[in-house]
Structure 1
Amino acid sequence: KFSCKTASETLRWISAILQFLESYRFFLDAHLVNFFKDRLWEKVDVEWMDCLRNESVESLLRIPSGVVQDHWPASLKQYVLTLDSLSLPRDQTDLQEAFQGLKIEPLNTVVSQGMNRKKKHEIETLSAVVSSVAGRVGAKTIVDVGSGQGYLAQVLAFEHGLSVVAIDASPHHGSVTAARSLRIEKHYAARKNKLGLTNKSFVSPKTVTCRVQSPSMLKDVLNCTIPTGSVGNSVMVPRDEAEPLLHDSASALRTNAGSSFLLAGLHACGDLSVTMLRTFVECEDVKALVSIGCCYNLLSEEDDDGHRGFPVSRGAKPLCSVLGKNARDLACQSAERWKCLEEGDGFHNFELHAFRAAFQMLLFRYYPETLDGRSLPSVGRQGKTLRRRQHQRGSSHLASKESSEEPSFLAKRYSGFVEFSKSGLRKLGLPESSSHIEYSRIIWHEAEIYFELIGPYWTLRAALGPVLETALMLDRVLYLQEQQEGSLLIEEVELVSVFHPFLSPRNLALIASK
């Protein structure tokens, strides 16, 4: 049983994960598009593949969630169960128990306009958590880092009555946030007047358009407010001039003397979440941090400037070799969503991966000029659209595993691959030729006999996703715990599963306070 209550316990957990992963480097370094071309299944235990090739789609999809079958080889069961034991739990925490006095209120239709079910669940929950933590530490201003269209910032401002600054790199997001805030403010002002709520106050979030590339840059933003007379409560800092402009703008900006901040990030991408951690450590005025990471594939692992995104803790650095982009991509896999897929949808997922891998082999053999140094030309999104269209037409219906081997089904699968490859070649700018059908036939004839192996391989590899994310999150926890052991007065560091994992798989919030 692992724990991350202390730095030594967290380091022991990280060490166990990294030691386990070393034996499965072939999974971490692989990319599924090369499944047929590089015969990736041959690197997996033959006994495992022989067993799983006959398993139902449902059983395969439950592997990333740690579910095993009694008749499996002992080594396979050990692999799946060990991964499960090394992973952080994802079931939603009892937030009422974790945060005293927490109130999660349903959002009204005005402030929730434009939110889908997932986003509404995230904003309702996280805004309540942020408000609770801010109240506990006495933070006067919430800084929403990587604010996107400002959903979190607006709910914190209008529903929780907090002072909020929303920072995002996109000028479009900044203008959308400002315009949306203005509409919401008018509604709340009208409602306030109608109900005579003279004692209830709210202020629109201030928006800052700036690409935050370092803790010093974020600290400069924190030390400044919006210039007097700025339009729409927003300011833009040009990307190329961001750091010098922020350093030299003291005379133009009003300083936030005596301010206290809480840094909040809802799925702040890549290194941005790590920059938030460093800013929390380096900036005395930042009293709390609530960070939910995302886009691990965008994390940097190079150490050119000393600000890499992984590993960030001193303890993990000597233990780690480079994970690589493929492994960081894998950390984004959602075991909860795969477990809940219906059999037909799961099969379509495997089929799509098979089509893309066969198409890669077709490009490698007959159209090598399309690779041109790019091992992975992008055609996947178009492939998903094609498969969704076929699914809606019912042209690839899966009634059972047995039906997938019927001649009529095999013919439809071949036709599906031909259509997929035509679509992919068009996206790569290649005109259709009379030889294309023949190329597709040859490739599919070679690939199809291994089709039943792609599901087992994919799920065995996907099972590494939760433990990879665990390693990334524990590294961040350890970084803060190391500061705790020094002179920095960090009172609390914890990981909390704040969202329902099916609605929002990236649900681990790193919460710290001084």
Structure 2
Amino acid sequence: MFAHLSAPSTDQVKETVKNMLQFIQMTGRISGAHSVEFYTQDVWKTLIAVSPEAVLSAFSQQQEVKHGGQDSIDVSRIFSKATQQLVDLEAFVEAARHYSLLNMGLCTPIEEMIDVFAAQRTEETNKEIKTDQFMNDKKSHEVAIMSQLVKDITNIFHIKQVIDLGAGKGYLSSYLSMRYGLNVYGLDSSHTNTDGANKRNRKLKKYWQVYKTNARTTSKARKSEEREESLLPTNHCPDTNADQDISRPRGDDSISNTVEDKISSFTYASEQSDQKDSMHSVHPTQNMVDSSSFLDVLPTGAVELPPSSDVSKVLSHQEKERRKMENIKAKNLNESHVYSPLTSYVTAETELHDLITDLEESIMVGLHTCGDLAPNTLRIFVAKPEVKAVCSVGCCYHFLSEEFETLEDQTDRTWGFPMSKYLKEKSCHIGRNARMSACLALERVAVGQGLPTESLFYRAVLQVICKEVYGITQRSYSIVPQSKNILQTDQRVGKIFSKSSGFTDYVRKSLKKFGQDDSKLSDEEIMGYYEKYEPRRNELEAFNRLKVFLAPCIEALILLDRLCYLREQDNIAWSGLVKLFDPVKSPRCYAVVSLKEP
């Protein structure tokens, strides 16, 4: 089956990485420059020999250009050999476009995977739950697409267990469990996230207890009403619940609409169910739908149902004990089908059996796993025979650890980059600022989103004030001890921009956060700095557009390193990169997918 999935050869991937690495290293001074130090280090004059207007114009037109399919790009004319400045903007843009995953032809189309896996799809996947009823648009988009792929892969391997690393608030995990009846373990290092996921699970169960109780009550009432309705004239329209859709007949084709109606009321009902008297707080007429409609969408064990209370006879002691044991067995069975959030910090050395006592053949997933967790997910997949497949979408590249970023000898630790032997042999490194540039979103910026130009300008001018007035000469991310005139890692402006009424207020709040005496400067002096650099704001904006151009290239290098790593393993049947999401909705849209033999 995997033979029907297209993917570039290992040699093709390595050749592409080699050529791409040359371009990324050549443009490293641009991607590695920090906006904070833009004016203090006169970055534009030092690195760029074209006008800001030319860069901004090229960026605005980049969506209109048809991307070519060249095998190689001439990058030698981009920079001046004498000054090392960027002199050929057209060649720069052409190369940046070429060395992005979108244009290199190295990805497996998601449509192809769906077609190949369609034959294994079970009938239950035809049921629809609209995720936008309980998630924002971005998360709904991601969960709906990724969960379908995950379910298709579980069908291929005939497995029911999913391990979600970096599960966060549990949106993907909950959906996989609720929608497809999978046994999902969600691991997250944050107690806050795990506790929140547990509370949502409890509320879901309580909500369904309320729902079933009222469904039984209204069932009897409806039968009585139906007997009365049979005596009414045929043109009589009986009273109905205004929230129900009466334009469609009851049955399987109404599942989708019923689900949408009931999920939309989940938040309210779950909050009410936390109260002791919640079992009586929902009026019966709020739940006048067939009890099978919404429950059919959920797996059998997704909720715990209360025992029936309409027993007309006194039960014997033996009968009570028998029913008690049946309830215990049923509860244990039910709990094997629900989402189980666990708190644990996962590394490449994590032993899954210590966290999941009933570990069996499973698929490992991660939706926007941060920093080193994404590469560690792949390492665990390779090392554990129980994990048959992996689908990992990483994010936060600036939190990746790099083996060759410093000269410090730390050979005993596991690094986030590089993973592959191929790039390790080249001692490849990117640098933190360049990895931060990789987090920029080209498609979002192209439609006017994702780049906080005003706050970047404020911060760059603030750094001029820090240098000229307070003697703070640079901003450091190093964890080693620094001199007193260097801002330490934890001395950052943070969210002060959004809380400031203007530039003067922003500067004063920032200086106080840095422990500096803001009374050294009058309001007029502060605004003097703003007015001095305002005419050069377009330089900063244009420079950040150049970094946005480079973002897909750096991301491609990181992801292709992960693909190379998987291709170097002996126990992998197929590996590829798949573009899962709309990059405007979800900029980190590429998944690393790898499958062992079924």
| Shorter-normalised TM range | 0.7 to 0.9
1:100 to 113, 118, 127: 118
**Quick one: which amino acid aligns to residue 34 of structure 2?**
H
Counterpart Cα distance in 2 of 1:105 and 1:356: 50
- Report sequence identity in percent: 27
1:336 to 443, 456, 460: 443
CA-CA distance at 1:138 after TM superposition:
2.2
C-alpha change, 1:501 and 1:76, in structure 2 (3 Å) is: same
CA-CA distance at 1:188 after TM superposition:
5.1
Counterpart Cα distance in 2 of 1:448 and 1:350: 12
Pairs within 5 Å for 1:69-468: 75-89=88-102, 93-94=110-111, 96-97=114-115, 99-100=117-118, 107-108=129-130, 112-113=133-134, 115-187=135-207, 190=211, 194-195=291-292, 200-202=299-301, 203-214=337-348, 216-221=349-354, 224-225=356-357, 255-256=358-359, 259-302=360-403, 303-341=410-448, 349-368=452-471, 372=484, 373-374=486-487, 377-386=491-500, 416-430=502-516, 432-433=518-519, 435-468=521-554
| Contact kept in structure 1, 2:370 and 2:397, CA below 8 Å | yes
Aligned length: 434
Counterpart Cα distance in 1 of 2:495 and 2:508: 14
C-alpha change, 1:375 and 1:79, in structure 2 (3 Å) is: farther
| Contact kept in structure 2, 1:61 and 1:338, CA below 8 Å | no
Counterpart Cα distance in 2 of 1:64 and 1:24: 22
Counterpart Cα distance in 2 of 1:310 and 1:104: 40
Match of 1:395 in 2: none
| Contact kept in structure 2, 1:67 and 1:80, CA below 8 Å | no
Match of 1:512 in 2: 594
CA-CA distance at 1:340 after TM superposition:
0.7
C-alpha change, 1:19 and 1:80, in structure 2 (3 Å) is: same
1:354-411 Cα deviation digits (max 9, x unpaired)? 221011110112123697432674225221454xxx7xxxxxxxxxxxxxxxxxxxxx
| Contact kept in structure 2, 1:28 and 1:326, CA below 8 Å | yes
C-alpha change, 1:267 and 1:62, in structure 2 (3 Å) is: farther
Q: Secondary structure at the match of 1:291?
A: strand
2:13 to 7, 10, 13: 10
Q: Secondary structure at the match of 1:289?
A: strand
| Contact kept in structure 1, 2:178 and 2:299, CA below 8 Å | no
C-alpha change, 1:60 and 1:83, in structure 2 (3 Å) is: closer
Match of 1:502 in 2: 584
Match of 1:49 in 2: 51
Counterpart Cα distance in 2 of 1:44 and 1:442: 27
Q: Specify every segment of 5 or more residues in structure 1 that has no aligned partner in the other structure, as ranges.
A: 226-254, 391-415
CA-CA distance at 1:435 after TM superposition:
2.5
CA-CA distance at 1:97 after TM superposition:
3.5
CA-CA distance at 1:338 after TM superposition:
0.3
Name which of structure 1's ranges 149-158 and 88-97 shifts more when overlaid on structure 2: 88-97
| Contact kept in structure 2, 1:11 and 1:316, CA below 8 Å | no
**Quick one: which amino acid aligns to residue 400 of structure 2?**
L
1:183-216 Cα deviation digits (max 9, x unpaired)? 22344564698218689523221222111122x3
Q: Specify every segment of 5 or more residues in structure 2 that has no aligned partner in the other structure, as ranges.
A: 1-5, 68-77, 79-85, 217-290, 302-336, 404-409, 476-483
Counterpart Cα distance in 2 of 1:380 and 1:175: 27
Counterpart Cα distance in 2 of 1:24 and 1:105: 49
| Contact kept in structure 2, 1:358 and 1:447, CA below 8 Å | yes
**Quick one: which amino acid aligns to residue 38 of structure 2?**
F
1:423-454 Cα deviation digits (max 9, x unpaired)? 42344355542623244244335423422211
Q: Secondary structure at the match of 2:45?
A: helix
Name which of structure 1's ranges 263-272 and 421-430 shifts more when overlaid on structure 2: 421-430
| Contact kept in structure 2, 1:312 and 1:479, CA below 8 Å | yes
| Contact kept in structure 1, 2:397 and 2:439, CA below 8 Å | yes
Counterpart Cα distance in 2 of 1:66 and 1:319: 34
CA-CA distance at 1:152 after TM superposition:
0.9
Match of 2:227 in 1: none
1:242-262 Cα deviation digits (max 9, x unpaired)? xxxxxxxxxxxxx54xx2010
**Quick one: which amino acid aligns to residue 100 of structure 2?**
S
Match of 1:473 in 2: 559
CA-CA distance at 1:25 after TM superposition:
2.0
CA-CA distance at 1:126 after TM superposition:
1.2
1:68-113 Cα deviation digits (max 9, x unpaired)? 9xxx99921111111111110199843644642665865347x953
CA-CA distance at 1:263 after TM superposition:
0.3
| Contact kept in structure 2, 1:143 and 1:264, CA below 8 Å | yes
CA-CA distance at 1:298 after TM superposition:
0.8
